[in-house]
Amino acid sequence: MKNRQWILTSKPMKLVTTDELELRTGEISEPGPGEVLLQLLFISLDPGQQVYMTSTQQNLPGGIVNVGDVVRAWAVGRVVASRSERFPVGSYARDLNGIAGVQEYATLHESTIVKVDPDQAPLPVHLSSLGMPGLTAYFGMLDIGRPREQETVVVSGASGAVGSVAGQVARIKGCRTVGIAGGATKCRYVVEELGFDACVDYRAPDFINALRQACPEGIDVYFDNVGGSVLDACLGHMSMRGRIAFCGAVADYGGSQPYAIRNYMAVLLKGLRWEGVNFYRYADQAPAAIAEMAGWIGAGQLRHREDIHAGLENFVTTFHKLFEGGNFGKLILQVHKDEDI
């Protein structure tokens, strides 16, 4: 068996293209003691992959992609060979730390994977609400945003994988939730399907006024997925002692020059707390969080949407959708169909 893999051939200076990536065919390594061979079914495409590919900081949480490496990615797959008693052939698993990679097969140690129950939720949901993005949203909102009942919580990237969960967690906790998303269709989805109280289109010319109108008493918690000018607008409308959960800056990942924030003095003048969200910090609490979110999904309180595209060869064009607003829900690449196995 051969393994098709996307390999980084040089470090990108802006949004990665096929100039820096190559689809190569490699060997499959047989599992050693305690290892399994996973045939990857669904691969998670995340804006953070751009950061892993661009960065040269070896101590980045989770690690980076060096030249010659397979591109990092979370994935869910089926065990096709096993030297682990915990993961028999035919069982499903996903990796814990985004090391499965953008490839067809991954040989992984049992300590780096977790069982996935397809009866609990369809397999792609284990990469969205019940996977890394859902956990990031859950802990980022509850541990860093710390929303209190009746407070106004604003979430950018509100229709996306992390934002959709972050806003719904705040809604479940009794907050007034306001989303920010690109375009009328996504804004309608955020209100009508996800149950936010309002949603503001950041691409509309009256964005800042619309944001103020949607949050007449200011923003108590801002969950930031995008950075840039949207972050600046929210900084300018925070309440006293507000909290910003800084989860990501997708608006800045593809550019060489970071956006120059103007309203940073609000942090000082309003006594704000502005803290980064780090998914890896909460690994030991993940099982309890997944159980709680699975309960919310079962009860119809937490809605999810996956945007699934087929074909490993389409990785680069599909990945670009994250930076163009071309995805609608959690972006996933399907590599094999389950019945192919």
Using CB under 6 A, list all residues that contact ligand NAP: 46-48, 133, 136, 157, 159-163, 181-182, 186, 202, 225-226, 228, 230, 247-251, 277-279, 322-323, 325, 327, 330-331
Residue 188 CB, shortest distance to ligand NAP, in Å, is 12
22-39: b (≥16 Cβ within 10 Å) or e? eeeeeebeebeeebbbbb
CA gap 148, 68 in Å, rounded: 47
Which C-beta is closer to ligand NAP: that of 79 or that of 158? Answer: 158
Which C-beta is closer to ligand NAP: that of 105 or that of 315? Answer: 315
Which C-beta is closer to ligand NAP: that of 36 or that of 100? Answer: 100
**Tokens read off for 77:** 């797959």
Residue 8 CB, shortest distance to ligand NAP, in Å, is 18
Residue 331 CB, shortest distance to ligand NAP, in Å, is 6
Which C-beta is closer to ligand NAP: that of 152 or that of 327? Answer: 327
Which C-beta is closer to ligand NAP: that of 196 or that of 202? Answer: 202
Which C-beta is closer to ligand NAP: that of 91 or that of 112? Answer: 112
Largest CA distance in the chain: 61
Residue 277 CB, shortest distance to ligand NAP, in Å, is 4
Residue 163 CB, shortest distance to ligand NAP, in Å, is 5
Residue 307 CB, shortest distance to ligand NAP, in Å, is 8
CA gap 96, 132 in Å, rounded: 8
Question: Residue ranges of the alpha helices (H) in the chain?
Answer: 48-54, 132-139, 161-172, 184-192, 207-214, 228-235, 250-253, 265-269, 286-298, 315-324
Residue labelled with tokens 């065919």: 25
Question: What are the residues whose beta carbons fall under 8 Å from the beta carbon of 284, sequence distance 6 or more?
Answer: none
Cα angle 293-290-287, degrees, rounded to a multiple of 5: 150
Which C-beta is closer to ligand NAP: that of 161 or that of 238? Answer: 161
Which C-beta is closer to ligand NAP: that of 88 or that of 287? Answer: 287
What secondary structure, in 3-state letters, does 68-128 show? CCECCECEEEEEEEECCCCCCCCCEEEECCCECCCECEEEEEHHHEEECCCCCCCHHHHHC
Render 214-226 in DSSP notation, one character per residue. Answer: H-TT-EEEEEESS
Residue 58 CB, shortest distance to ligand NAP, in Å, is 18
H/E stretch holding 37 reads strand 35-44
Residue 328 CB, shortest distance to ligand NAP, in Å, is 7
